[in-house]
A and B are shown apart, each in its own frame.
Chain A
Amino acid sequence: MLTVGLLMLTLLILATVLIPLFVQIDAFSISAATKLQPPSWSHPLGTDELGRDQMSRLVVGANISLRIAFAATALTAIFGISLGMVSGQYPIADIIISQISDSLLIFPGVVLAIMILAALGPSEVNVVIAVFVLYVPRVIRTVRAAVIEYRGADFVMAARSLGASDLRVLALHIFPRAIGPIMVQLSLGFSSAILVEAGLSFLGLGAPPPAPTWGGMISGAREFIRTAPWMMIAPGAIITYAVVSLNFIGDGLRDMLDPRSHSVGR
């Protein structure tokens, strides 16, 4: 499962990168003459109501989505891991961090994201911030739980009695044991980032037009669903594809980590 997901994701990224090298990508030119055309050789995925090439728009949209998801996940990883470690190790910091983190978790994801974008205004950067705020509490909790779990372990006590500093213990002894659950969280977070971005764009809160976001494309395709169904199918399919591939990766990682799924000989 993990390999399938990785393969799928790799294909997506490669396609995003390689297609523009071989085919003329033009996501922005408007042409009344070519509007609402079904898939053909010159426009493999058809055109939209402004005559723009769907495939080009998808590829640029992929760029946007992947960029945002990647940035958000990277930020989440950096802050989530460090705050989670500090929270797990120092009780006073824990109270502050956990309170903030838990109160963020109370809000339903979409609502929180909308609130943030309504406050900050629609832009790519703000979407990254919104997704980050949504996901960092989860990573903090996962890391914090791992630190608390391992704090009393013999090998951690042994390291401390050798004279290892808190930082050394956290970074070298505890963190590697927590990598598994963290990776699962991050890969699922990545897939959620894509979905959240698509949702926000659908509502018009994402990167503003003429940016060809996947969500925006679906939104725009609603009007033409009977006359030009290809306008909605393509972005819908690609979102599904991306999310499924990342879920496969997340599930695959989780299965790999589950000790019960290993065949133990004893």
Chain B
Amino acid sequence: MIGPSQPLLRTVGLRKSYRLRNGGVTREIAAVDDVSISVTPGETLAIVGESGCGKSTLAKLITQLEPPDSGEIVFDGLPVATRSRRERLAFRRDIQMIFQDPYGSLTPHFRVGTLVAEPLRIHRLATAATLRQRVAEILDSVGLAPEIASRFPHELSGGQRQRVSIARAIATRPRLIVCDEPVSALDVSVRSQIVNLLLDLQRDLGLSYLFISHDLALVNHIGDTICVMYLGRIVEQAPAAAFFAAPRHPYSRALIASSPFPDPRRRNTAPAVHGEVEVGAVSGGCKFRNRCPLALPKCSEIDPPLRHIALDHHVACHRAEEMAG
């Protein structure tokens, strides 16, 4: 058991590649490339990035849905890979996941009650007698009436379905929940309800979140630490306040500048960055260099390592120091 200030989850140099076939040419794309993150108990680590950045793959690696090619995942002080079968099942109690698509992530032919009861059954956390009661309690804690237990997913609204997903995820009293774009597919007027629910649960159950999102405003609101990924690498990692006050990586700046700010008096004058995300097309040096407004010749030759540049602030850029303030 770890101490209160020790990380709950740590990854060390995680790597996962896929083979991509594009018209006869097979390339190996590093979806996750040397990723080391840590989540402390009770905190929210936000992962931010666009398509191809590897955030979804990282989520699958952490929840053990896929094995990494190399690197280590350490949970609660113990490396995950070396665990026995029984320990690995216990691991599944401690780390859960909420998916983006509120409909697709619920088995369509299961009733809500069955869905929420399933983790209890698998991990034998309730007897036949107490199951119903426990399910009702869990549904209540996510703001759903007990009658919902007899409905099917397709009978529910998007917000309700996501609540069911959350209910299922908290059933085993996990320590960490990976949230993969949990509100992106919901209607705008419902998003804040679910965000509030996640905040409440974090407080009441002492949860940590690995929160994946492309919505920077949301991430600013609920994130404690921000981690920006680009083409499989972490390019910047910092506490939320420091990140938004003074981002140090050109890509982070571009992301913040590109986010459509809901105030017409503050209009972006020009797009912050040009070009497309070049999945698998950049070799050697910094992967962002072709789109970077600050690129130097050095950037094509040497891949900038993730450096400690200020308190808890890490940046992977040769010119990070120049961007203070």
Contact = CB atoms under 8 A, between A and B. Distances in A.
Asked if A pairs with B, the answer is: yes
Interface of A: 153-155, 157-165, 168, 172-173, 176-177
Interface in B89-103: 89, 92-93, 95-97, 99, 101
B107 A157 contact: no
Contacts of B165: 158
A162 B104 contact: no
A161 B104 contact: no
A158 B106 CA distance: 8
B65 A176 contact: no
B104 A153 contact: yes
Contacts of B122: 162-165, 168
B133 interface: no
Contacts of B65: 157, 160-161
Contacts of A160: 65
Nearest to B98: A158
Given A161-B63, A162-B168, A163-B93, A155 B107 contact: yes
Nearest to B171: A162
Given A154-B99, A154-B101, A163 B107 contact: no
Contacts of B92: 161-163
**Is chain A's binding surface mostly helix, strand, loop or mixed?**
helix
B104 A154 contact: yes
Nearest to A153: B104
A173 B153 CA distance: 14
Interface in B228-281: none
Nearest to A150: B107
A173 B123 CA distance: 17
B107 A159 contact: yes
Given A154-B101, A158-B106, A176-B109, 14 more contacts: A155-B104, A155-B106, A157-B97, A157-B105, A158-B165, A159-B107, A159-B118, A160-B65, A161-B63, A161-B64, A163-B119, A164-B122, A172-B107, A177-B109
B108 interface: yes
Contact of B97 (A161, A164, A172, A173): A161
Nearest to A173: B107
Interface string B56-89: 0000100111000000000000000000000001
A158 B95 CA distance: 12
Contacts of B60: 157
A173 B108 CA distance: 9
Contacts of A154: 99, 101, 104-105
Nearest to A174: B107
A160 B107 CA distance: 12
A231 to B, nearest CB: 51
Contacts of A159: 107, 118
A172 B121 CA distance: 13
Chain A to chain B: the 7 pairs with minimum beta-carbon distance, closest first: A163-B92, A154-B104, A154-B105, A155-B107, A162-B119, A163-B122, A161-B63
Contacts of A168: 122
Contacts of A157: 60, 65, 97, 99, 105
Nearest to A168: B122
12 contacts: A154-B101, A157-B60, A159-B107, A161-B64, A162-B96, A162-B118, A162-B119, A163-B119, A163-B122, A172-B107, A176-B109, A177-B108
Which residue of A155, A160, A165, A177 has the most chain B CB atoms within 10 A of its CB atom?
A155
A221 to B, nearest CB: 50
A77 to B, nearest CB: 20
A232 B281 CA distance: 72
Contacts of B89: 163
A154 B103 CA distance: 9
Contacts of A176: 109
A154 B97 CA distance: 11
